[in-house]
Amino acid sequence: MVLLTRKIEFSASHRYNNPALSAEENQRIFGKCNNPHGHGHNYTLEVTVAGEPDPVTGMVVDLADLKKILEQEVMRRMDHRHLNFEVPELAGQIPTCENVARVIWNLLEPKIPQGRLHRVRLYESPDLFADCYRNGAGRNGSAS
Amino acid sequence: MTAARGGDLKIELGRRYRFAASHRLHSAQMSEAENARIYGKCNNPCGHGHNYTVEITISGDVDPATGMIANLADLDNFVQREVIDPFDYRSLNDEVEVFRAEVPTTENLCIEIYRRVRAFPHAKLERVRVEETSNNSFEYAGEEVFSGSDEAL
């Protein structure tokens, strides 16, 4: 099995606020991420596909296809958007790194044309990231 | 592979921290000559230092109310108290109890940080990765990782 990773970057704004909680509780739990005006990040997304290289093309997945899928599913939805208001898949969820990574996983998994989606790693900043993978497949793809 | 495909989605959160510390690699169980031969310039009697980067990865259920595995401020405060404060701008050999007996290689540092952060009460610690320099990194995930039970390859 070979792992292939494609990286893209997008920028988006968000705010952490749970309407079921009081303003004080939101402030206590989310701190500066609760700023009513929102804030933003430059996100880096690493998408890893696992598979055997095709005997004819030598590819696990055609990178041009993968680029198109990432453009369609992630960039068009999230780049230069407000994650709270403009991404229906995140409706009703706090747009944390964990939740955004899971939404991206769910968008991408059925679209991967060759091989299988192995890991989604979403960096909110160089020092904070969330990994999403199927249970049991994680550690093999954690080489970074 | 088929089993892995059908597995539940698992989410992990990774967080990176930095500290600077000095150390000297020297084992009391070896002669001066052996120490010099094995550790080379890391055996310099006066010690030397590194800017370390520590990557902590935790896992757990994402709380629907907060969208988080664990509150980041709780993790940051815990790691600050248990790892950064005791190690940053310190001599690992002289100021961290465990390294009075053990050689403060980054392998052993990884294990010591794992041991400390495993006590974080709000999530499961998956692994600790320490970069000693931008060219050398070390990873420890506890001993159960070697059981092979959840390896999918």
- What's phi and psi for A90, nearest 5 deg? -100, 5
* pLDDT above 70: percentage of residues in chain B: 89
Q: What is the CATH number of the domain that holds B59?
A: 3.30.479.10
Q: At A6, is the secondary structure helix, strand, or coil?
A: strand
Structural domain span for residue B103:
11-138
Tell me if B134 is assigned to some domain.
yes
Residue B147 has pLDDT above 60, yes or no: no
CB contact (8 A) between residue B11 and residue A101: yes
Q: Where are the domains of chain A?
A: 2-141
Q: What total of structural domains would you count in chain B? A: 1
Interface of B with A (CB under 8 A): 1, 3-17, 57, 62, 64-69, 71-73, 127, 141, 145, 150-153
pTM of the model: 0.88
Tell me if B143 is assigned to some domain.
no
CB contact (8 A) between residue B14 and residue A138: no
The mean of the pLDDT values for chain A is: 93
SS3 content of chain B, % helix, strand, coil (to 5): 35, 30, 35
* Residues of A known to be catalytic: 33, 80, 124
Tell me if B87 is assigned to some domain.
yes
- The 3 state secondary structure assigned to B1-56 is CHHHHCCCEEEEEEEEEEEEEEECCCCCCCCHHHHHHHHHHHHCCCCEEEEEEEEE
Cβ of residue A19 closer than 8 Å to a chain B Cβ:
no
Q: What is the mean pLDDT of residues B108-136?
A: 97
Nearest neighbour of A131 by CB, restricted to B1, B14, B16:
B14
Q: What is the mean pLDDT of residues A114-122?
A: 94
What CATH class does A2-141 carry? alpha beta
Q: State the pLDDT at residue A143.
A: 37
Tell me if B54 is assigned to some domain.
yes
User: Tens digits of per-residue pLDDT, A41-79?
Assistant: 999 999 999 999 999 989 999 999 999 999 999 999 999
Residue B58: pLDDT band with limits 50, 70, 90: very high
CB contact (8 A) between residue A132 and residue B9: yes
Residue B5 has pLDDT above 50, yes or no: no
Buried b (16+ CB within 10 A) or exposed e, A68-90: ebbeebbbebbeebebbeebebb
CB contact (8 A) between residue A130 and residue B14: yes
CB contact (8 A) between residue A136 and residue B152: yes
Distance in Å, alpha carbon of A116 to nearest chain B alpha carbon: 8
